[in-house]
Amino acid sequence: MLDNQIEKIVLFMLEQQGILGGRIAKLGERQDMLQTELDLPRIASLQEAYRVIGRDLLKLLYFVEINAIGIRKILKKFDKRLGYRFTNYYVKTRTNHPYSQLQQVFKHVGLGAVVGAISRNLAELEDFHGSYLSIYDQPARPFQDPVIDSIKAAVDRLTHSTSFLTYLGQHALIIHEELPMPNEELVDDQRYHFMSLLLNLVNTFLYMVNTYIIVPTADDYSMSLGAAPTVCGIVIGAMAVAQIFSSVYFSAWSNRSYFKPLIFSSIVLFVGNIMYALAYDFNSITVLLLGRLFCGLGSARAVNRRYISDCVPLNIRMQVSAGFVSASALGMACGPAVAGILQVDFKVYMITINQNTLPGWVMAVAWMFYLIWLSVSFKEPGHLSQENFVPEYNTSLVESDTLENGVTQPLLVSSQAHQDEVDEDQECDMSEGHSEDSHAPINSIVAAYKLLTPSVKILLFIYFMLKYATEILLAESSVITSYYFHWTTSQVSIFLVCLGLTVIPVNMIVGSNINNMFEDRQILLASEIMVCLGIAANFHIIEPYTVTQYVVSGLVTFVSAEVLE
């Protein structure tokens, strides 16, 4: 029955696209006649005719959007009543088929051509002076017709593809997977400031560099202070331990400000890196650990994510979220690379500068320059009050019967659709043990944990274990390679850089190929098995223990953990 209804929707969409295309073609013939004579009243008439077509296209987009919501809610209700996740099967079998009709609904294939035709012709009529250049020859052309703006906003809301950018955005834990309501705009474009966004991405990049820049030399640094080389695991992990606490107060602080937490983060990271660098001259492992703890207490990644979620317009949030993940991956690769080239040994006024202390000095200088840049360029956005924000639903969107003509009715219509949406969400919240106020703030980790389903708790445990395996591999790489293979700091750095550079390609392969070919549980199970095999192959069981065995097993472990993540 659902297949039949979707087929009706798609055929109706195609029919209406054809009608709109025919109307545009007729207007194009009238527009061609203007090439010989300049008639301002006829130009104005043509512009209005194109705008009427644009408004009709807008109604068609709203029609598709309401039906997309209807399909999603029908499947959601079916899952709840049947007690089986049928949605996953239905969506995968319908979207991966070469004759997919569901793709037409969720990816609105073909509507882009109609939007392009209207935009191009309106732009040409706007400055009709016999020019032969079009919007395609001038991509940066600032043409802003209100109808085109409305259509673009509707298309942005409706777009819900499985592209690489979407996958990376979800990987950053920023993109909302729920299809937004027609008039739901959570972000005001006036709050968006490019330089402030860039500063957040640079903060993410520098923090990841700061985390991994000490990995190749941490064992040597520990030994120089009289500790065992394996203490490097504690030195590296201290930053992550402190981040547990910093994420809590930075998350709360970002409710009131973004600028002040970033300033505080930069100062704390500057101090932490100075302490890390001076630990050598103080000959104190305590100062070394305190320096790393300070660096962890300055982690503002929660603020970076929150800024993107709150202050970046919806139409570019996918790209920005992908940039967030890319900045993290690039920082992870650049950290060991920078450490590999810092091979010096001299003193400046009784302060030792060598391969162990120089990473701390370099990062301290980097954070100082970042602090100055932040103070000059960051613009504090106004904060939205979630309590006072109630998205409005436009009940007039479906009242017009210009497009429907009584042939095809939406699966959910008008205000009833909105009411069903609300009722359904409340039902789902209650059935899963949620309170009636599902958007009430959670004030403790324990309260948040109680809201999790058993499946999510299992996934969190898996996430903990994959991070556990990954960090062991990275933290102990310098110890193992120097003990068995006598690698230098530069060689360890090259190995870690190669591991870090696999992050983005792996995400691309999983997001665009593997994730569309297999079920999530199959990918989870296969990647868990590969992580286990990679760890097992890493053990020194067979003589001799070779570089090939270590590198291959480390690569399998790291890449499999990335897939699992």
CA-nearest of 128, 149, 139, 127 to 54 is 149
Lookup result for tokens 């809201």: 451
Q: So what's the pLDDT on residue 158?
A: 62
Q: So what's the pLDDT on residue 291?
A: 96
pTM (whole model) above 0.75: no
**294 and 328 Cβ atoms separated by less than 8 Å:** no
Across 425-435, average pLDDT: 42
Q: What is the pLDDT of residues 210-262, one digit of tens each?
A: 999 999 999 999 999 999 988 988 999 999 899 989 988 898 898 889 999 99
What is the dihedral sign for C-alpha 96, 98, 104, 105? negative
Q: So what's the pLDDT on residue 91?
A: 75
CA distance 565 to 562: 5
Q: How confident is the model at residue 535 (pLDDT cuts 50, 70, 90)?
A: very high
Residue 97 has pLDDT above 50, yes or no: yes
Q: What is the pLDDT of residues 441-478, one digit of tens each?
A: 666 677 777 888 888 888 889 989 988 999 889 888 98
Q: So what's the pLDDT on residue 105?
A: 65
Q: What is the pLDDT of residues 483-512, one digit of tens each?
A: 999 999 889 999 999 998 888 888 777 766
- Three-state DSSP at 434 gives coil
Q: For 298-307, 350-359, 361-370, 375-384, which range has the lowest pLDDT when averaged over its residues?
A: 375-384
- Calculated CA dihedral for residues 79, 84, 90, 96, nearest 10 degrees: 130
Q: So what's the pLDDT on residue 394?
A: 39
**303 and 250 Cβ atoms separated by less than 8 Å:** yes
CA distance 336 to 489: 9
How far from 218 is each of 139, 243, 373, CA to CA, in Å?
50, 19, 30
Q: What is the pLDDT of residues 278-295, one digit of tens each?
A: 999 999 999 999 999 999
How far from 421 is each of 176, 393, 433, 508, CA to CA, in Å?
17, 11, 19, 34
- In percent, how much of the chain has pLDDT > 90? 31
